[in-house]
């Protein structure tokens, strides 16, 4: 082997090198104080297999290019996902005759507060609950050619840690917040505890407002206004507040600056806004916001907006949450009107590569309002007003949510070519089939919305990423028709990776 071992300190590295030497494995210890000539010599000897292992302290995390390294040993704990990935990355370079990287992780039965979730999130992404599901099921959602294998005891230890460490219960959040000095904002708390915003909002009644109240960071009069999370809604002394706080998790996908900017303006205003204050473009954004935060829909636009604005604690939490969402937005977005130049989309507040719930899309195209909500559950939605087919696509179609006749084969072929199957009864010569094929000549548009799966680990609907306009390339067959769409703008690479996995899983 050609191995790098990452150690706790100088004595540890020297001890490991001595023990390996005594076991007949040529090794050296390289420290932060070791001069550059000696380091270069050690790396050359490792490449030439004159030695098999280098034990390092505060060095080789980055900036070292030894593609031949085929083994890394984690001998020191770290809760920094960046350091963990840097150390792992020392072995991920390709080299001739190097078949794989072997990772030996000796940080096993750790302190119960050690954050295994950070390590596996760095590798696989996702929320704490999604990581727990991945560990329990053998990491089924990794890219093609990748695997993470844990033996039974390791899985037990990791799952127990995930259940007991910070964020495993709401009480653990309360205890952690009590260690902080007030005032503290949501962004600072999330950063300090190294948790994702989805972790805080994953349960019914879990909110930043409630957390601060239970930690004693707000006056008693305000704490009394919050109902117990599991109590029936009608018993709440402030039902509007409770309903709105329970609706906040449905906003966690918001990631484009126009939605965030408008919501900041409305929520931070000195007086309740009126519907007459907004353009059609702005009003549609706010209609979408209200549709996903008010589940009972017993509102009209003005009264619903006023009821949100009148909840001081909710507005304060929303403004802090918007800052978090703005900071973590990972995709550059592009206004749809700028992408098409078509007058029909001038008042459609959709941004290519932003994420939306179905209700927000329906509000954006003017089909659904707070006063007259409209529901669309499956398949493409043809819209005469904008002369557009809006296609809502779920990549992973589980038997729980899809019948055999609706588990269409939808996946990315390249970042700008998407393989899509129409509904099962669509024929080539039908009006719908002809509209798909000749949409450009007919003055129609095709818009694609894609999500990885139907529900997340918490059982909530997963939002769609808007891939934007697409143009017909070719098709095969019918009932269903298999169509290749050419995207006007290539999809983000992280989404392409997920959309390509869908093809490899079939």
Give the end of a domain, one of 139, 164, 189: 164
285 and 231: one domain?
yes
Cα 154–Cα 457–Cα 126 angle in degrees, nearest 5: 65
Residue 356 lies in a domain: no
Q: Which segment of 237-246, 283-292, 422-431, 463-472 scores lowest on mean pLDDT?
A: 237-246
Which DSSP letter does residue 183 get? Answer: S
Could you tell me if residue 89 is inside a domain?
yes
What range does the domain containing 66 cover?
A: 3-164
CB-count burial class (<10 Å; 0-12, 13-18, 19+) for 137? exposed
Question: What is the tens place of the pLDDT at every residue in 90-110?
Answer: 888 888 889 889 989 887 555
- Locate 246 and state its tokens: 């329970």
Contact 436, 473 (CB under 8 A): no
CA-to-CA distance for 184 and 206, rounded, in angstroms?
18
Alpha-carbon torsion 384, 386, 388, 389, what sign? negative
Domain harbouring 416, CATH code = 2.30.280
Same domain, 7 and 135: yes
Looking at beta carbons, which pairs linking 373-381 to residues 24 or more positions away fall under 8 Å? 373/291, 373/297, 378/406, 379/423, 380/422, 380/423
Judgement on whether residues 322 and 178 belong to the same structural domain of the protein:
yes
Other CB atoms within a 10 A radius of the CB of residue 486 amount to 15
Rounded Cα–Cα distance for residues 346 and 343 (Å): 5
Residue at token pair 């931070």:
268
Q: Considering 297, 328, 359, which residue would you say is the last residue of a domain?
A: 328
Query: What's the distance, Cα to Cα, between the start and end of the chain in Å?
Result: 36
Cβ of 349: how many Cβ atoms within 10 Å? 28
Per mean pLDDT, which range of 29-43, 172-186, 393-407 is the poorest? 393-407
Cβ burial of 373 (10 Å; 0-12, 13-18, 19+) is middle
Residue 333 placed within a domain: no
Q: Is 79 exposed, middle or buried (0-12, 13-18, 19+ CB in 10 A)?
A: middle
| 178 and 64 assigned to the same domain | no
3-state secondary structure of 406: helix
- Regarding whether 178 and 140 lie in a shared domain, the answer is no
487 and 385 in a common domain: yes
Neighbours of 436 (CB within 10 A): 23
Same domain, 468 and 487: yes
Q: What is the pLDDT of residues 302-318, one digit of tens each?
A: 989 998 999 999 999 99
| In a shared domain, residues 382 and 406 | yes
What's the gap between Cα 136 and its chain centre? 20
Of 164, 192, 223, the domain-final residue: 164
Among 297-306, 319-328, 362-371, where is mean pLDDT lowest?
Answer: 297-306
CA distance 465 to 448: 8
- pLDDT, one tens digit per residue, over 14-51 is 999 999 999 999 999 988 788 888 888 998 999 999 99
Q: Average pLDDT, stretch 182-189?
A: 91
> For residue 45, how many other CB atoms are within 10 A of its CB?
15
Let me know whether 258 and 114 are in one domain. Answer: no
Closest among 352, 322, 320 to 335, alpha carbons compared: 352
Is 386 part of a structural domain of the chain? yes
- Residue 426 covered by a domain: yes
CATH number reported for the structural domain that contains residue 157 in this entry:
3.40.50.300
Q: 53 and 7 in one domain?
A: yes
Q: Quick: pLDDT tens for 109-123.
A: 556 667 777 778 778
In sequence order, the β-bridge partners of residue 484 are: 419, 474
Q: Which residues of 7-26 are buried (b: 16+ CB within 10 A; e: fewer)?
A: beeeebbbebbeebeeeeee
Q: Within a domain: residue 394?
A: yes
Residue 287 lies in a domain: yes
Share of the chain above pLDDT 90, in %: 52
**CB within 8 Å of 436: residues ≥ 6 apart:** 389, 422, 426, 446, 472, 475, 481, 483
User: What percentage of the chain has pLDDT greater than the value 70?
Assistant: 88
> Same structural domain for residues 199 and 71?
no
One domain for residues 450 and 478: yes
Comparing CA positions, the residue from 447, 468, 455, 451 lying closest to residue 502 is 451
Greatest Cα pair distance in the chain? 82
Domain count, the chain: 3
Rounded CA gap, 493 and 151, in Å? 32
Indicate whether 263 belongs to any domain.
yes
């Amino acid at each position: 082997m050609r191995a790098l071992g990452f150690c706790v300190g100088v004595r540890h590295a020297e001890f490991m090198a001595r023990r390996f030497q005594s076991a007949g494995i040529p090794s050296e210890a390289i420290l932060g104080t070791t001069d550059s000539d000696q380091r270069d010599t050690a790396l050359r000897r490792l490449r030439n297999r004159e030695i098999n292992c280098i034990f390092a302290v505060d060095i080789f995390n980055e900036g070292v290019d030894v593609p031949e390294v085929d083994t890394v040993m984690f001998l020191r704990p770290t809760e920094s996902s960046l350091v963990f990935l840097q150390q792992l990355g020392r072995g991920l370079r390709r080299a001739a005759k190097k078949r794989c990287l072997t990772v030996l992780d000796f940080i096993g039965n750790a302190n119960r507060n050690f954050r295994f979730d950070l390590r596996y999130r760095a590798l696989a992404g996702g929320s704490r609950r999604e990581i727990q599901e991945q560990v329990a099921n053998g990491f089924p959602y990794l890219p093609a050619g990748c695997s993470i294998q844990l033996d039974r005891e390791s899985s037990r230890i990791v799952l127990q840690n995930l259940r007991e460490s910070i964020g495993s219960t709401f009480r653990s959040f309360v205890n952690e917040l009590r260690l902080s000095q007030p005032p503290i904002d949501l962004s600072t708390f999330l950063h300090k505890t190294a948790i994702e915003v989805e972790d805080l909002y994953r349960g019914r009644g879990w909110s930043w407002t409630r957390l601060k109240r239970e930690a004693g960071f707000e006056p008693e009069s305000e704490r009394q206004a919050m109902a117990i999370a599991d109590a029936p809604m009608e018993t709440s002394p402030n039902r509007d507040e409770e309903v709105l706080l329970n609706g906040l998790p449905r906003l966690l996908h918001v990631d484009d600056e126009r939605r965030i900017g408008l919501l900041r303006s409305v929520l931070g205003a000195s007086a309740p806004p009126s519907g007459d204050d907004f353009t059609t473009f702005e009003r549609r954004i706010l209609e979408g916001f209200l549709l996903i935060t008010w589940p009972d829909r017993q509102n009209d636009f003005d009264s619903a907006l006023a009821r949100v604005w009148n909840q001081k604690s909710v507005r304060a939490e929303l403004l802090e949450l918007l800052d978090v969402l703005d900071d973590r937005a990972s995709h550059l977005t592009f206004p749809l009107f700028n992408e098409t130049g078509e007058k029909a989309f001038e008042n459609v507040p959709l941004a290519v590569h932003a994420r939306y719930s179905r209700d927000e899309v329906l509000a954006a195209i003017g089909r659904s309002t707070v006063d007259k909500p409209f529901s669309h559950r499956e398949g493409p939605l043809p819209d005469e007003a904008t002369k557009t087919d809006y296609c809502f696509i779920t990549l992973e179609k589980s038997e729980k949510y899809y019948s055999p006749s609706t588990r269409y084969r939808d996946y990315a072929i390249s970042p700008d070519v998407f393989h899509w199957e129409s509904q099962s009864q669509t024929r080539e010569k039908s009006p719908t089939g002809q509209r798909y094929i000749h949409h450009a000549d007919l003055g129609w548009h095709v818009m694609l919305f894609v999500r990885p799966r139907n529900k997340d680990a918490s059982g909530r609907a997963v939002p769609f990423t808007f891939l934007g306009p697409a143009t017909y390339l070719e098709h095969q067959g019918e009932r269903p028709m298999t169509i290749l769409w050419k995207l006007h703008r290539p999809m983000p690479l992280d989404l392409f990776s997920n959309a390509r996995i869908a093809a490899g899983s079939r």
